Amino acid sequence: MSKVAVIGAGSWGTALSIVLADNGCEVAIYARRQEQVDEINHQHTNHRYLPDITLPANIVAYPSYRQVLEGAQYVLIALPTAAIRTALREMVKELDHCPLLIHSSKGLEPDTYKRVSEMIAEEVPESKRRGIVVLSGPSHAEEVSRRSPTTVVVAAPELKQAEEVQDLFINQHFRVYTNTDMLGVEIGGALKNIIALGAGLSDGLGYGDNAKAALMTRGLTEIARLGVQMGAHPLTFAGLAGVGDLIVTCTSRHSRNWRCGYAIGQGKPLNEVLQSMGMVVEGVRTTKAAYQIAQDKKVEMPITKELYHVLFEGKSPRQAVDDLMGRGRTHEMESRFFDDFNRYF
Ligand SMILES: NC(=O)C1=CN([C@@H]2O[C@H](COP(=O)(O)OP(=O)(O)OC[C@H]3O[C@@H](n4cnc5c(N)ncnc54)[C@H](O)[C@@H]3O)[C@@H](O)[C@H]2O)C=CC1
Ligand SMILES: O=C(CO)COP(=O)(O)O
């Protein structure tokens, strides 16, 4: 029986713990607050994050990294991206062996704009990790925890390690695909949150399904444009971590990013919205990161740019939509894209 240490007792860490527990793993989950540890261990619930869900008894919470990590063959990181580097520094002090590290966070580090796998590679010495694998795709915790059919993708530069993680998670409710394009999977998962904020904002303004379909389609184009420039495989964005996650996040009532955008579209100030959410909304910081990366790399990302102006410079959302609609004429198929495709096929 495998032991998995789960770092992060929020919605996603808990939902993935249920999948692992269903698969017969021993799951040790790290929670910072003693009341949450007690709730998970005695009531078998995590009410704040997954109301009405009963947790399997083989999920045990601990308030210390040492206890969680002891003997774990796998470590799953399910934290808000902004908390990961600090958490890794604490965790690594207590790590005395060499597990496979899996992360499932969807964002870029604030200020450095690094991917999560890059942070892990910097903070966890090679002697303390067997490899790094990312798990991503269209998967709201609320549905995964109810064992509703879900598909995800796991990616690692070495296919064997992705397959090992596929074996760990796959079951009748949770179907896992593999990919070796870790960069593309991380970029797709992080940047779809920007477009979900935009889709929420459009709905909050009262625009219709046409507007949302436009945002999703052109949003995917700009995600792929940046991703391919950074070195991703273009077809990754046609997969679960690309269009798949974009669909679920832009259209689901569960999405925190969509809900945040919706409230802003309805005229609520960003700070007030974030405070009232009580859970992480990754897309806000990721908008800033993607805007900066796009500027540095001279990649055109019109939706991201307008959203940046709305979130951080007080631009009116209606004006942002007008400016997007009034852009210069362009061809749908970019010749640059064809060049990139030709590089691969
Ligand atoms: N909720 C979902 O449906 C999904 C979330 N994700 C991603 O998973 C990541 C985590 O998201 P959620 O679990 O939803 O967030 P959440 O807001 O539900 O929970 C975050 C948890 O992290 C804990 N935490 C924060 N800072 C910490 C630190 N320094 N050390 C230890 N624990 C800390 C919090 O106490 C909380 O328990 C995000 O990147 C999100 O985009 C990915 C797929 C689905
Ligand atoms: O990534 C997710 C679903 O795949 C969760 O999205 P939100 O963070 O917007 O809720």
Please give the torsion angle defined by the CA atoms of residues 160, 162, 163 and 164, in that order, rounded to the nearest 10 degrees: 90
CATH number of the 3-180 domain: 3.40.50.720
Residues in contact with ligand 1 by the CB-under-6-Å rule are: 8-13, 32, 49, 78-81, 83, 86-87, 104-107, 139-141, 279-280, 282
Q: Which residues are catalytic?
A: 192
Give the pLDDT of residue 216.
98
Taking the whole predicted model, whether its pTM rises above 0.90 is answered as yes
Domain chopping of the chain, boundaries: 3-180, 183-344
Predicted ipTM beyond 0.95 = yes
pLDDT at 334: 75
Ligand 2 centre and the CA of 193: distance in Å? Answer: 7
pLDDT along the chain (345 residues), means of 10: 97 98 98 98 98 97 98 98 98 98 98 97 98 98 98 98 98 98 98 98 98 98 97 98 98 96 97 94 98 97 98 97 96 72 61
**Res 333: pLDDT:** 84
CA distance 163 to 335: 35
259 CB near ligand 2 (under 6 Å): no
Rg of the chain, C-alpha, whole Å: 20
DSSP conformation class of 332 = S
Question: For residue 177, what pLDDT is reported?
Answer: 99
Evaluate whether 3-180 and 183-344 have a shared fold: no
| Domain range 183-344, CATH class | mainly alpha
Q: What is the SS3 assignment for 26?
A: strand
Tell me if 16 sits within 8 A of 164, measured CB to CB.
no
In the reported structure, the alpha carbon of residue 339 is separated from the centroid of ligand 2 by a whole-number distance in angstroms of 32
What's the rounded Cα separation, in Å, for the pair 123 and 182?
18
